[in-house]
Amino acid sequence: MTNSNVPRILLIGSDGQVGWELRRSLATVGQVIAASLTGQEGPAVDLSQPDSVHQLFDATAPDVVVNAAAYTAVDRAETEPELALAINGTAVAIMAERAAARGIPVVHYSTDFVFSGDTDHPYREDDEPQPLNVYGQTKLAGERALLDSDAPALIFRTAWVYGVRGNNFLLTMRRLFREQSELRVVNDQFGTPTWSRLLAEVTAQILYRVVQGELDMARVQGLYHVTSAGATSWLSFAEAIRDLSDADCRLLPIASADYQAPARRPAYSVLDTSRFRTTFGLTLPDWRHSLALCLADLR
């Protein structure tokens, strides 16, 4: 740690929907160095370039790393697998190597899309991943790079993230409700919508305890499922967004096969969060509760 004992937190991907929330939440934990592709609020980094990742670590000498950057365009990844792997896999392996060399904690996020969805009960951390698409495969590579390294890492697998900015289902639906009187939405994929602010806040609470020495990384490091509570389909999520937004749009159920997206998606990717809740003693609210708070924030 630095002389002032204020930890230097390297936040990678500070312009993304989770990263943007983390910028504020992590300010209570230490000095946030906000690195992004554009370099608008701090250092610039291009995770597709290994040299750029090394230079970022050389230039910032962090005490803690939080990686909220990723290649998240699920459909586009099918035609850009090398780029997706460079960002979601190779760059994370470099972060793992650099964090291991400094012995500093890393927080990283992964996805429910590492699972095939061929089940009817919430996935646990030790269930076998079997991604159906390139995005899921590359995110799994990133998880494994960290878990196979000596870096003290917390990997938070989350799902269906939405928030007040960025590319997400909630903002897409609100735009489409204004533009169209009728929408078709898949009703055969089940998961748990999770507010980006909830993720940022639980991350900050946990890191605060780590830097204060209340939580021992050697004891808690590993993989955790972190989503809101409950489960829904994209159609029911869209209905909840519509009803809480006082929008007027007819929503029609369709099968995934009729949506014709380039990437396959899991039919059921609800995550069992009990390991997270018992380890950290944190409660995760029902998805509808968080949705109402997020929509209130948007108003």
Ligand X SMILES: Cc1cn([C@H]2C[C@H](O)[C@@H](COP(=O)(O)OP(=O)(O)O[C@H]3O[C@@H](C)C(=O)[C@@H](O)[C@H]3O)O2)c(=O)[nH]c1=O
Ligand Y SMILES: NC(=O)C1=CN([C@@H]2O[C@H](COP(=O)(O)OP(=O)(O)OC[C@H]3O[C@@H](n4cnc5c(N)ncnc54)[C@H](OP(=O)(O)O)[C@@H]3O)[C@@H](O)[C@H]2O)C=CC1
The answer to whether 72 contacts ligand X (rule: CB under 6 A) is yes
Question: Residue 36 Cβ, how far from ligand Y at the closest point, in Å?
Answer: 6
The answer to whether 183 contacts ligand X (rule: CB under 6 A) is yes
What is the DSSP-derived secondary structure letter of residue 286?
Answer: B
Residue from 48, 55, 245, 279 touching ligand Y (CB under 6 A): that is 48
Residue number, 208 or 259, with CB nearest to ligand X: 259
Question: Residue 162 Cβ, how far from ligand X at the closest point, in Å?
Answer: 8
Can you read off the two tokens belonging to residue 8?
A: 């230097």
Question: Residue 223 Cβ, how far from ligand X at the closest point, in Å?
Answer: 15
Window of 22-30, 45-53, 106-114, 276-284 that interacts with ligand X by CB under 6 A: 106-114
Residue number, 130 or 181, with CB nearest to ligand Y: 130
Between helix 196-211 and helix 17-25 the angle, nearest 10°, is: 40
Question: Residue 267 Cβ, how far from ligand X at the closest point, in Å?
Answer: 10
CA distances from 143 to 59, 110, 131, 154, 190 (A): 25, 7, 13, 10, 23
What is the rounded end-to-end Cα distance, in angstroms, of the chain? 41
Strand residues in the chain grouped as ranges (E): 8-12, 31-35, 64-67, 106-111, 153-158, 161-162, 182-186, 190-191, 194-195, 222-225, 232-233, 250-254
Residue 123 a catalytic site member: no
**Contact set for ligand Y, span 192-211 (CB under 6 A):** none
Burial class for 248, CB neighbours closer than 10 Å (0-12, 13-18, 19+)? exposed
Residue whose Cβ sits closest to ligand Y: 16
Residue whose Cβ sits closest to ligand X: 111
Q: Is 176 helix (H, G, I), strand (E, B) or coil?
A: helix
> What DSSP line would sit under 115-156, residue for residue?
S----SSPBPTTSPP--SSHHHHHHHHHHHHHHTSSS-EEEE
Which of 71, 109, 123, 135 is catalytic? The answer is 135
Window of 90-98, 111-119, 243-251, 286-294 that interacts with ligand X by CB under 6 A: 111-119
Size of the site for ligand Y (CB under 6 A): 27
The binding site for ligand X (CB under 6 A) comprises 72, 74, 111-113, 159-161, 169, 172, 176, 183-186, 189, 234, 256, 259, 261, 265
Catalytic (active-site) positions = 135
